[in-house]
Amino acid sequence: MTRLAWTFLRSAGWSRAALLAGTTAVATALVLVALTMLLLPSQPVEALFSLVAEPGLRWGTAFATALLVLPLLLMLNQVVRLGTATRERRLAALRLAGATPAQVRRIGAIEVGFPVTVGAMAGPLVFALLRILFGGQRVIPGEGMHVVDLTVTPPSDVVSYSRLDSGLSLIPTSVTPAWWQMVAVVALVAAAGVVTGSLASRHLVASPLGVSRRVRRPPPRP
């Protein structure tokens, strides 16, 4: 069964597998970015973009970052559909040869799940690259500007780092998800890819020719 799925994967072209792996890697990295934003303390020790540094805006920014995964999932669905006609003919031939519906689902899951799992495992590397490019700047003691906070009683002398160039510092670098959190994210994204591959040929399960039966509903009574 695994050998058949591997044969289907190679016949579909390595470009398709690379697209599946790349899309999944970016999706995993974005989920890790959103998780890192949520792990940031209320008073970060690094200069970050205001949408990330402000505790009141941080949850919305993390949610918006997680929503960026949706277009990637749509792209993943389109990549799975590349070469669908040839793929469906092969799976239909297996059904005509006596393959069970469970075996067809398993082949589809392995065919798509292998590159998706590889991409999900590469997601932490993409996350590390994004932190290098868009990571926050560590605050060095003494670089801030001393100001007097008159909103508290008595007035206190605080250090403001507003003059530091936060630029595109969107990803916190002072906190890092735990290893089990990274494993959970990778497993979740990989499982989503396996389910996508299993559902890609669900219409071949009922019939080897992909024919769906519809029951005509009676018209509504006047």
Q: Is residue 217 part of a domain?
A: no
Q: Is residue 221 part of a domain?
A: no
Q: Kindly indicate the confidence band of residue 193, based on its pLDDT and cuts at 50, 70 and 90.
A: confident
pLDDT in tens, 146-170: 444 445 455 444 444 444 444 578 8
Q: Is residue 215 part of a domain?
A: no
Q: Is residue 24 part of a domain?
A: yes
Q: Rounded to an integer, what distance in angstroms lies between the CA atom of residue 118 and that of residue 113?
A: 8
Domain range spanning residue 114? 2-206
Instruction: Work out the burial of residue 73: count CB atoms within 10 Å of its CB; fewer than 13 is exposed, 13-18 middle, 19 or more buried.
Output: middle
Number of domains in the chain: 1
Q: Is residue 53 part of a domain?
A: yes
Q: Which helix (H) or strand (E) holds 149?
A: strand 145-149
Q: Is residue 212 part of a domain?
A: no
Q: Is residue 81 part of a domain?
A: yes
Q: Is residue 194 part of a domain?
A: yes
pTM of the model as a whole: 0.74
The long-range contacts involving 69-73, CB below 8 angstroms and separated by at least 24 positions, are 69/27, 69/30, 69/31, 72/23, 72/26, 72/27, 72/30, 73/27, 73/192
